[in-house]
Amino acid sequence: MRKFTLHALSKRLLAFLFAVAFLFLALFGRLFYLQVIAGKELQTRALEQWVRDLPITPARGKILDANGELLAGNTTVYAVYVRPKAVTEPQRTAEFLSRTLDLDPEALLQKIRNRGVSEYTLKRQVDKETADLIIAEDLDGVYLSMDNLRVYPEGDLLSQVLGFVSVDSVGQAGLEQYYDEYLKGIEGEILTQADLQGVEIPGSSTLYRPALPGLDLTLTVDAEIQRIAENVMEQAWRIHNPKGARAIVMDPKTGAVLAMVNKPSLDLNDLPRDDLALLNSRSRNSLVIDIYEPGSTFKIFTAAADLEEYRKGNPKAFSAEHIFGDSRTRVVDGQTIRCWDGHTNGRHSHQNLQAALNNSCNPIFVDLALALGTETFYDYIRAFGFGKPTGIDYPGEQGGLLLDESLVKNCDLARIGFGQTIAMTPLQLIAGVSAVVNGGTYCKPYLLSEIRSADGTLVKRIYPSAGSRVISEETSAQMRRMLEEVVTSGSGKQAYIEGYRVGGKTGTAQKYENGVIAEGKYVSSFIGFFPADDPQYIALIIMDEPEGQHYGSIVAAPYAKLIFEQIIAAKDLKPSL
C-alpha cells in the first residue's frame, strides 16, 4: 500500500490551487472581454435581436438664390416596408399592396413568405393619398416611414447648375452632388421592441430619434437674372438652331456667378432616368466642363498683355497709337496666316491697335504675340487663369488645354495670339476678361454665398477671393475704353444700347474634329460688360454650330444686348451717358 507523505500532499494541493486560480483568471478574463472590450458590440447585437427600427429620412437642405427665392426644396412622401415574420395574412397583404403600389403580385407574395429576410423596402416616394389607404387597411407587418422628395419649383431653371439627386436623395450631379455633405442631413429612426421572430411586442415602448435636416445653401445666382438669360437663350436656340446655346452672367469685380444657362436643358422634376444618354447630355454644364478654342475673344488678352508691357517699358511691345503696316497676311514658320475677311478693297490696312480690335484683324495680333515672345506672353496667359481650373465650387471642372511652354513654336505662338491653338472653358474665358476690365485683378468664380441651418442660423459665409493683380488699373481702364469703342464703332455694334456704356468683343472660331478643321462648323461668341467705365455685369454668349450665319457679331452680340437691356429694366438702372 502506497503511503502519502506530507510533501506529496502539499504538491497536489498546490497544483489544485493553481488550477482553480487559472480557471478563475480565465473566467474573469472572459467576463472582462465580454463586458468591457466587446460590450458595446454585444449590446448592439442583442439590441438588434429584440428591437426593430424604421429609418426617418432627414429633410434635404434647401437651395436658395441670392435673394432667398427657393430653387430646390422638398415635399413629404412615404416609404413602405414589410416584415415577413410579422405578416399574419400573406395573401391579403400581397393582393392589396400589389394593387395599391402597382407591384407584381406574385413577386410580392414570394417576398412576404420569405421569412428568412427581416425586412423589405417595397416602394419609396409614395404620396400621402396612397399612404393613407395603406394605413386604413391596417395590415400586420406593413410599416410606413416619412420620406422626402426633392422638388424644383421652376423645373428647368438653372438645371445644369443645381444638378439632381438619386431616388435615395443622394446628390448625383451639379451642386446637389458638390455640396451633398451639407445638404443631406442626418438620418433618424423609430425603434420598436420585437420578439425573436421580428413581431412587434404589443404594448411595448417606442423610441423616436428625430432626423436632423440638412443645411440650406444660398447661391450667388440671381433668379431674376437667370430667368432673363434663360428666356433670351431659349429664343436664340430656337432661331439659330445651334447644337447648344449658352450664357454666363457674372459680377466682374467679385467672381460671383449671377446666371448660367445651357440650352437645351431638362426639367429636374421629370428626369429621363431611363435614357442615360439623354440625361447625361441635357444635365451637362458645358460652361464649366467643356473646352473650346475661343477665337477672337482671346484677342482681349493679347492686347492687354501688350499694353501692360508697353506701360512697363518693354521695348518689344507696341503702343496703342502704333500704326501697323499691311495686315493682309503673315508668314510664320512657313505657314501663311490670313485675316478672316481677306482684306478686300483695302480694308484693315495701316491700323492701330484700336482699329485692329474693332475689325478683329488676326495678323495684328500675330505681331503682338510674336513681339511679346513665348515666356512673357505665357506669364500673362497663366496669370489670366488659363491652363488650370478656376477652382469654382462645381464638380468636374476642366482646366483647358495649353501647350507646354517648352514645346511652343513661333507658328503656335502666332495662332495663340488670335485665339487658336489654345482651348479653355467658357468660365475660364469670362473670369479672365473680368480681370481685364475690373481694374486688373483676377477673382476666382464662385456659386455659393452662405450656408445656414434649418432654423436660419448662419453656419458659414463665403467671401470673394482677394484676387491677384494681372495688369495695372491704368491698362485696365485703357482696355475698357477700347472695348467700348468695339461696340460703338466696331464688330460689336449689335450689342450697343442707347444711353448706356457697353464694351465687348466678338469671336468666331472654327471647330476641329479628329485634328482637322470641320468644314462649316463654328463656335460663335460675344463677351460684353456694362457700364463700360465701371463694370457691374459681364456676360458671355456662346452659340455652338449655329445654322446659317455664324459670325459672333450676328448670332451672339444681339443676345448679350437683350440680356443687358432686360437687366437694366429689372434692376431699374439709370443711363450712364
Q: Which helix (H) or strand (E) holds 356?
A: helix 353-359
Angle at 203 between CA 40 and CA 190, to 5 degrees: 50
Q: How far apart are CA 514 and CA 420, in angstroms?
A: 16
Catalytic-role residue among 265, 296, 360, 524: 296
Q: How far apart are CA 329 and CA 336, in angstroms?
A: 7
Question: Side-chain half-sphere of 559: how many Cα atoms within 13 Å?
Answer: 34
Picking from 329, 404, 401, 353, the residue whose alpha carbon sits closest to that of residue 374 is: 404
Q: Give a three-class secondary structure readout of 429-442.
A: HHHHHHHHHCCCEE
In the residue annotation, 476 being an active-site residue is answered as no
Task: Classify residue 562 by its DSSP letter.
Answer: H
Task: Render 439-497 in DSSP notation, one character per residue.
Answer: TSEE---B-EEEEE-TT--EEEE------EE-S-HHHHHHHHHHHHHHHHHSTTGGG-B
Query: Bridge partners of 505?
Result: 527
Q: Is the distance from CB of 377 to CB of 369 less than 8 angstroms?
A: yes
H runs (alpha helix) in 36-81: 39-50
The total number of residues shown for the chain amounts to 577
The residue written with cell numbers 437651395 in the block is 63
Q: How far apart are CA 472 and CA 399, in angstroms?
A: 25
User: Which residues are part of the catalytic machinery?
Assistant: 296
